[in-house]
Structure 1
Amino acid sequence: MTISAADAGLVQIVTAVLRDGDRVLLCHRCAARRNNPDVWDFPGGHVEDGEDPKESLVRELREELGITASKPSGPPMHEFRTATIHMRIWLVDSWTGTPVNAAPNEHDAVAWFETSDLGSLRLAHESYLSMLTAVLVT
């Protein structure tokens, strides 16, 4: 995948919803973070210059969680686009390794949550609750 002229200048972000049966993994962003501090968010990060977004997702999951995921074969399950950001979210159901907080400078915790836990969390974006609930129903 190449970045189109329409995407030039946008911050490219890739993230994943890791699902293991009836639970999803979220990362708690450190309170000292400049952007979206003290919220539960998806693992992921920025696409580097010239990097394929799907390959970037694999790299980010390895760096942040210490796992090896396959490059996604399909399109993202959801995308957000603003004037400055293009964020892609993929559903990841399989990987090798056990997710750990391999990036303590970015997250102070990683944890698994079931549907009943999600409503009490301070999530990074208001749309995450309905997205995660839908993912856990399927």
Structure 2
Amino acid sequence: MAANEVPRIQIATAVLVRDGLILLAHRHPQRHAYADRWSFVGGHVDPGESPGEAVARECLEEIGVQIHHPVPFPMTVDNPDLEMHAFLVTQWTGDPSNAAPEEHDELGWFHPSALATLRMAHPESVPGILTAVRRATGTTGPVSAADGVPRTDR
């Protein structure tokens, strides 16, 4: 990194998949960043913490589950200040519930095709997420006619 470069903010996020559905968290309308948008469970990577450790901690803090065998995958975001570390999670202990109501006002399980219709925090990440989910679930082809072309008006 050059002397005048600002370090990127390290974010670790989990895409939990169960029975072909994806868990999303709706960011509280009072949040500073990406308020009133759907996103995945996750947050900042703390100093001295690996992205894998961070995503495990965030899942425990935000939804009360202990994740097992998170699989990293590339996640594209348009914010140049962020470096995303995304993990696909298909195994965990516990039942996801909103353990951080100050961060999220709702959790929901969505069919992958629904991501294109929701107001997502990072809509540009949807195509890569859908590809990772297809690989993990063994499905092929598009998950919808709008496969990964998210709307931002909802």
Give the structure-2-normalised TM-score: 0.76
Report the more deviating stretch, 112-121 or 47-56.
112-121
Match of 1:122 among 112, 119, 123: 119
Corresponding residue of 2:139: none
Offset, 1:114: 0.5
Residues 1:137 and 1:9: Cα distance change in structure 2 (over 3 Å): closer
Determine if contact 1:77/1:90 at 8 Å carries over to the other structure.
yes
2:80, 2:122 → 1: CA distance? 17
Shift of the alpha carbon at 1:71? 5.5
TM-score (norm 1): 0.84
Partner residue in 2 for 1:137: 134
RMSD of the alignment, in Å? 2.2
Contact 1:79–1:86 (8 Å) recurs in 2: no
> Which of 31, 36, 50 in structure 1 is aligned with 2:48?
50
Give unmatched runs, 5+ long, in structure 2: 136-154
Structure with larger Rg: 2
Q: Shift of the alpha carbon at 1:78?
A: 1.2
Extract unaligned runs of 5+ from structure 1.
Answer: none
Higher relative contact order (CA 8 A, sep 6+): 1
Partner Cα distance (2:62, 2:96) in 1: 9
